[in-house]
Amino acid sequence: MKTIANLPEIYMTQTKAGPDIAAGRLPEDAYAENFSDLHPLLDQHEAQVEADRCYFCYDAPCMQACPTSIDIPQFIRQISTGNPTGAAKTIFAQNILGGMCARVCPTETLCEEVCVREVAEGKPVKIGQLQRYSTDHFMSEFSSTPFTRAAETGKKIAVVGAGPAGLSCAHRLAVHGHNVTLFDAREKAGGLNEYGIASYKSVDDFAAKEVDFILSIGGIDVRTGMRLGSNLDLATLRAEYDAVFLGIGLGGVNALGLEGEDKSGAIDAVDYIADLRQAKDLSELPVGRRIVVIGGGMTAVDIAVQTKLLGAEEVTIAYRRGQDRMNASEYEQQLAQTSGVRIMTWAQPKGLVGENGAITAIELERTQDQDGALTGTGEVITLPADMVFKAVGQTLVQTELGDALTLERGRIVVDADRKTSLADVWAGGDCVQGGEDLTVAAVEDGKIAAESINAALTA
Amino acid sequence: MADLRTDFIGIKSPNPFWLASAPPTDKEYNVVRAFKAGWGGVVWKTLGEDPPVVNVNGPRYGAIHGKDRQLIGLNNIELITDRPLEVNLREIKQVKRDWPDRALVVSLMVPCEEQNWIDILKRVEETGADGVELNFGCPHGMSERGMGSAVGQVPEYIEMVTRWVKQHSRMPCIVKLTPNITDVRKPAQAAKAGGADAVSLINTINSIMGVDLDIMSPSPAVDGKGAHGGYCGPAVKPIALNMVAEIARDPATHGLPISGIGGVTTWRDAAEFMALGAGSVQVCTAAMTYGFRVVEDMIEGLSDWMDTKGYTSVDQFVGSAVPNVSDWQYLNLNYIAKAKIDQDQCIECGRCHIACEDTSHQAITNMVDGVRKFEVIDEECVGCNLCVNVCPIEGCITMESMAAGSIDPRTKKPVEKDYANWTTHPNNPMAVTEAAE
């Protein structure tokens, strides 16, 4: 067939014409298929069979591994006894965002990694999927959280950032009867749940539904479009409210520090993911034919897999060290690889090649570990690329905070109660020092901070 | 390969695995399928007098399930065969003719009048069947009409009917016993006194399987009502084993052939019944759960096990465990065992710890030097075996007996080498002491 003979010509033509970035690379029905649930909701039989595998361990390792200390054996037992509502209550008691955590938690490095059946047979109980089974059941049966608000205390608390940390904190404060104003810079509440989660982990509008569910407790006033440092400032909040919780995440993105980073086609992964999450029609979202992702964390995997699912032909994650050093879990790495993403290790970005203001290729230098220090070998490879995604970490936008707070390595310093250097300001989630950059850890921060705030205000 | 051929009261079968009188043996079609699958014999579903009984047209079975819906107990309210006597007899005759090497025993239940038994025995004899089994066990429906367990609960009736059967028939006679009594030795003695060639047990246990909490009726419900039915399956095996053992070791019935019934699901179950004195076993629930094919591993497994143990025929181990069935008062109180946890096999679920901590003797750690670890505290362990039973890993926890002369860390006393039991224990007010002689 002539297609084979024609291929190089088409290829050349398109390269000369500039980057190959186009929408609608896939047949119409492929988008729904590609972006469907990574792990579909277990049906009743599947949940029963899986729940029956739990040994109801004493002082269970899974429970200890959960940052929010969900009583996992208890909720699984409740599923097995035909009480999924009770199971959900057990989960929500520790983690009001149990529904989202069931979807996005890297369970393979948390509860499921230490499951005794992982030890016994290499097959842990599917804790995450069972959690989703019960929380989804609850949220479809009941429109409000299983908590009852305490009598109003008259105390006002400002929670800045309506992501997992802020939502968790706001809910727990509301339960204690406080009045919460929940600010967020974006148009919608939810934070990374709404704007940052890989689409195949949270399909439909679950993030928005979960926000509504959390707000159903009452006593939480949501104000979106309010950004610290522009139309909101910490000093005023401290003056107007009895306490402040900062769950502002990491709004800044690290740059590669290369020439030509301003060219079109060099994109912040988190921005593209946000666009993808908000896109009404994925077939209208332009994506390159050849993609290179710089980074080694969850965001790198998320963008790599999703661009592949959007129809990109060649997707490469370039990481400067060995695969064992990647922050993305082993499971995530495998997900990338089974999705057809190439993981190229020991390669760091050296330069961006472009034509007419657009990127056409990236130069990567081979690296090596010399007595613990990462050095370039001088060998440079050029990979053609229509899009280069930067996924090398996010940073706290310090200008938003003024200089009242103590920071360390670019993050807010908090104590065990998530209290900052200011007596009336607490913080949690990705913006605090020592954080784990996990949704579930953010939820725990919010919960602990809320209890601490409550103790301080009712003392 | 071991010889599984069985001669049970003169009834020969290629293996000791018979299907019990129950739905799987109600007609030629099923029985032929069973024989093709390899079953050594069947006890044909109980025949009665015409007109045939009728069954409910709603649910007849109820079950309890273990994890993953494993069926561990089944109950039924089905009655004896609801097909015309003539049809059953014709089929029995045909099957016996086609399968001469298999055991074919016919279960019977007619009213307690001598003439009724004379009549039916004559007709069964004409089929060429190998023997009869008297159904004195069925606990539902028929018992309300003065048959089944209503007979089995009165030793005098058992003896009377058995005597009629032996008097009016040349066929070997097995008396099937009900467990719904207080002392199974009495009906067994009565059967023997009446001339029975053997007893078979247990029949099903009276039971209500559950309650439907929506309609507030026993489940399964027939139009909103439920009746007690007969319970069987793996869950009843321990009850059956005890009853078999009681008869096997009772001096009055010792040596009376026994066909063991009650939750036999695997070759191992069968071997256990046989070790307690059963010369054959009868199976129902396992077949009703998985189909007739389960007999394949029963045959293979029993044979392989016998090879391993050096038994060449079944009678070499039938009854072998009977001498070791004792009464509590004769158990050796100087025997001391301690649990031992194999740390290599332990998956650290902690169930041994919490079971011991909450409900027993606080003899298992959950933490050693600040690390999650489960170890037996010999100073506290009484050797009760609970940890072994709750551990999900078979063989991870074992009971190790202490050598004579070693010091028991719990009592700080040396382990005595001599046997001593309660009957001579100083704490026993009724103790037999030498001084009393």
Are B349 and A58 an interchain contact pair (Cβ–Cβ within 8 Å)?
A: yes
- Tell which of A58, A72, A117, A121 to mutate to test the B interface (max B CBs under 10 Å): A58
Residues 6+ apart with CB under 8 A from B306: B2, B4, B312, B314, B317
Q: How far is CA A326 from CA A258, A345, B51, in A?
A: 22, 9, 80
Option in B67, B347, B366 nearest A52 (CB): B67
pTM: 0.91
Q: What does the pLDDT read at residue B434? A: 61
In chain A, residues with a C-beta closer than 8 Å to the C-beta of B350 are: 57-60
pLDDT tier at B435 (50, 70, 90 boundaries)? low
In chain A, residues with a C-beta closer than 8 Å to the C-beta of B392 are: 55, 120
Neighbours of A375 (CB within 10 A): 12
CA-based nearest distance B337→chain A, Å: 25
Q: Number of residue pairs across A and B with CB atoms under 8 Å? A: 34
Q: What does the pLDDT read at residue A1? A: 32
Is B303's pLDDT higher than 50? yes
Q: Which residues of B carry out catalysis?
A: 138
Q: B351 at the A interface (CB within 8 A)? A: yes
Nearest CA in chain A to B354: A58
* Peptide bond just before B202 cis, omega within 30 deg: yes
Q: What does the pLDDT read at residue A15? A: 47
- Cα(A171)–Cα(B248) distance, integer angstroms: 69
DSSP assignment of B184-200 equals THHHHHHHHHTT-SEEE
Burial class (CB in 10 A: 0-12, 13-18, 19+), A114: buried
- Cα(A211)–Cα(A301) distance, integer angstroms: 26
Q: B301 at the A interface (CB within 8 A)? A: no
Q: B354 at the A interface (CB within 8 A)? A: yes
Amino acid present at A432: V
Residues 6+ apart with CB under 8 A from B273: B240, B241, B244, B260, B262, B264, B281
- Cα(B215)–Cα(A112) distance, integer angstroms: 40
- Cα(A25)–Cα(A377) distance, integer angstroms: 37
* Peptide bond just before B23 cis, omega within 30 deg: no
Interface pTM, i.e. ipTM: 0.89
- Please name which of B100, B180, B169, B95 lies closest in space to residue B132, comparing C-alpha atoms: B169
Neighbours of B404 (CB within 10 A): 13
Amino acid present at A104: V
CA torsion, points B249, B254, B259, B262, in degrees to nearest 10?
-20
Are B351 and A56 an interchain contact pair (Cβ–Cβ within 8 Å)?
A: yes
SS3 A94: helix
Q: What does the pLDDT read at residue B113? A: 94
- Cα(B361)–Cα(B381) distance, integer angstroms: 7
CB B124 within 8 A of CB B108: yes
Q: B392 at the A interface (CB within 8 A)? A: yes
In chain B, residues with a C-beta closer than 8 Å to the C-beta of A59 are: 350, 366, 372
Q: What is the CA radius of gyration of chain A?
A: 23
- Tell which of B70, B71, B349 to mutate to test the A interface (max A CBs under 10 Å): B349
Burial code of A123-140, b = ≥16 C-beta within 10 A, e = fewer?
Answer: ebbbbbbbbbbbbbbbbe
Option in A58, A61, A120 nearest B353 (CB): A58
Q: What token pair was written down for B234?
A: 């793996």
Are A60 and B350 an interchain contact pair (Cβ–Cβ within 8 Å)?
A: yes
Q: What is the CA radius of gyration of chain B?
A: 25
Are B349 and A116 an interchain contact pair (Cβ–Cβ within 8 Å)?
A: yes
SS3 B88: helix
Q: B68 at the A interface (CB within 8 A)? A: yes
Nearest CA in chain A to B353: A58
CA-based nearest distance B210→chain A, Å: 15
Q: How far is CA B3 from CA A436, B13, B268, B313, B424, in A?
A: 67, 11, 17, 5, 45
Q: What token pair was written down for A312?
A: 């990109």
Three-point CA angle A103, A105, A111, nearest 5°: 120
Q: B349 at the A interface (CB within 8 A)? A: yes
Q: B210 at the A interface (CB within 8 A)? A: no
Nearest CA in chain B to A115: B349
Task: Over range B191-219, report the average pLDDT.
Answer: 97
- Cα(A89)–Cα(A70) distance, integer angstroms: 10
pLDDT digits (tens, 9 = 90+) for B124-142: 999 999 999 999 988 888 8
Q: What token pair was written down for B132?
A: 């009869």
Are A58 and B347 an interchain contact pair (Cβ–Cβ within 8 Å)?
A: no
Q: B372 at the A interface (CB within 8 A)? A: yes
- Cα(A229)–Cα(A297) distance, integer angstroms: 29
Phi, psi of A67 (to 5 degrees): -60, -25
Specify the pairing of strand B61-65 against strand B71-76. Answer: antiparallel
Option in A57, A117, A120 nearest B350 (CB): A57
- Please name which of B309, B214, B230 lies closest in space to residue B271, comparing C-alpha atoms: B309
- Please name which of A261, A273, A267 lies closest in space to residue A388, comparing C-alpha atoms: A267
Are A59 and B372 an interchain contact pair (Cβ–Cβ within 8 Å)?
A: yes
Option in B67, B366, B392 nearest A59 (CB): B366
Is B243's pLDDT higher than 50? yes
Tens-of-pLDDT digits for all 459 residues of chain A? 333 333 334 344 444 457 899 999 999 999 999 999 989 999 999 999 999 999 999 999 999 999 999 999 999 999 999 999 999 999 999 999 999 999 999 999 999 999 999 999 999 999 999 999 999 999 999 999 999 999 999 999 999 999 999 999 999 999 999 999 999 999 999 999 999 988 888 888 999 999 999 999 999 999 999 999 899 999 999 999 999 999 999 999 999 988 888 888 999 999 999 999 999 999 999 999 999 999 999 999 999 999 999 999 999 999 999 999 999 999 999 999 999 999 999 999 999 998 888 999 999 999 999 998 999 999 999 999 999 999 999 999 888 887 889 999 999 999 999 999 999 999 999 999 987 889 999 999 999 999 999 999 998
CB B166 within 8 A of CB B196: yes
Neighbours of B151 (CB within 10 A): 28
